[in-house]
Amino acid sequence: MNSEIKTISIFGGIVVLAVVFLGIIFMGLDDLPSQNQGSTTGVFLNINDSGMKKAPNLVGIEYYLNTTPEELEQEIENKVVLYDIWTYSCINCIRTLPFITSWNEKYSEEGLLIIGIHSPEFEFEKDPNNVQDAIEKYEITYPVVMDNRMETWKAFENNYWPRKYIADHEGNLRYDHIGEGAYQETEKIIQQLLDERAQDMGMQTTSNKELVSIEEFEHTPFRTPELYFGYKFAQNRNHLGSNEGFQPERIVTYAEPQKIELNKFYPIGDWKNYSDSMELVRNNGSIKMLFEAKEVNIVTNNYAELEIYLDGSPLSEKNIGRDISSDGKLLVIDPGMYNIIDSETSISGELEIIIEGKGFQAFTFTFG
């Protein structure tokens, strides 16, 4: 009997560990379809590897920024091409831009062409004026094409923001990297493919192999996952803590919560539920949330003035976000992402956002 009990106990422990392990895996995968949160190792193919594919054509492009269709068609010929699939309100995409713009500056005259494929997550990201503003803000001078119908996204069989593909000068896809990170690895691939191009074209190769040196953002190992305000985006995620829940296309009066749970958000006041966001339908409202991270960002639209409090107090110099004024307020003018908490180390606490501005839209919270 004791032997049987011991065997059952061991087997039960193995089952529990397996369930926990699979849970961790699927939690990680659950974050990936929208905004990959960490660093991944890229996949590189040698020229003779089987399964190599040609880079697909850019299809369904509605707007060309920093270029024209004719110029891009000519420029892409015989170039090593880095395709950067991004969207301007994605914090993970934004963190990659200093590296990408540096590579453009360093290697464009050696045969590298960078093409930003802007595939929007939210409706306001389909506006070319908004994307143009982002291009100027992040000092992007390479071509950016607006893939508003996600046709080029589908042609690449992509599911993630951000994602980088690199094609050699003959148009073969040789490298694929999902998410942030692996910047040195990626730059070495760029150098290798530029060397191959130079050799094939009888050109002298560059001898400077020094890599771009930029401080990389370090994620905290445990942090609040991305929280979506839209009922469609939040499917299969239990991030809305309010008892009233999501009520598609309806105006809901959300009450002050009696209890706040970690990794959930609580709108307070009258909010209309949309597929990708919530909209404040009166002049005043608020949002509460219990989080753990060193960086908190909110993606918003429409003019509003926000007051930010952490554990009931205004933000301090140690945690005030880059987009917050010294008096602890955030003025939302342009649609996009705003940084509200910026700490050198991970912190946990209750965040309260007091909002003044009818029509204010909240799309998502992201964390670092």
* DSSP E strand stretches across the chain: 43-44, 63-65, 80-86, 112-118, 144-146, 163-167, 173-178, 227-228, 251-254, 264-273, 278-280, 284-301, 304-310, 313-314, 329-332, 336-356, 361-367
Q: Is 127 exposed, middle or buried (0-12, 13-18, 19+ CB in 10 A)?
A: middle
CATH of domain 227-367: 2.60.120.260
Q: What is the pLDDT of residues 12-61, one digit of tens each?
A: 443 333 333 333 333 333 333 444 445 566 888 887 777 789 999 999 99
Which letter does DSSP use for residue 215 in this model?
Answer: P
Q: What is the pLDDT of residues 270-286, one digit of tens each?
A: 999 999 999 999 999 99
pLDDT of residue 40: 64
CB atoms within 10 A of CB 232: 12
Cα-based torsion angle of the residue sequence 45, 46, 47, 51 in order, rounded to the nearest 10 degrees = -40
Please, are residues 116 and 110 in contact by the beta-carbon 8 Å criterion? no
Please, are residues 165 and 176 in contact by the beta-carbon 8 Å criterion? yes
pLDDT of residue 50: 72
Q: Is 56 exposed, middle or buried (0-12, 13-18, 19+ CB in 10 A)?
A: middle
CATH of domain 43-200: 3.40.30.10
Q: Where in the chain is the domain with CATH 3.40.30.10?
A: 43-200
Q: What is the pLDDT of residues 204-248, one digit of tens each?
A: 876 568 899 999 988 888 899 999 999 999 988 889 999 999 999
What percent of the chain is predicted at pLDDT more than 90?
80
User: Which amino acid is residue 207, in one-letter code?
Assistant: S
Q: Which of 311, 265, 95, 70 is nearest to 254 (CA)?
A: 265
Residues 179-198, mean pLDDT to the nearest whole number: 96
Answer whether residue 115 shows pLDDT above 80.
Answer: yes
Residues 100-105, mean pLDDT to the nearest whole number: 98
Residues 80-108, mean pLDDT to the nearest whole number: 97
Q: Where in the chain is the domain with CATH 2.60.120.260?
A: 227-367
pTM above 0.85? yes
Q: What is the pLDDT of residues 171-187, one digit of tens each?
A: 999 999 999 999 999 99
CA–CA distance, 357 with 271 (Å, rounded to integer): 12
Confidence of residue 357 (pLDDT cuts 50, 70, 90): very high
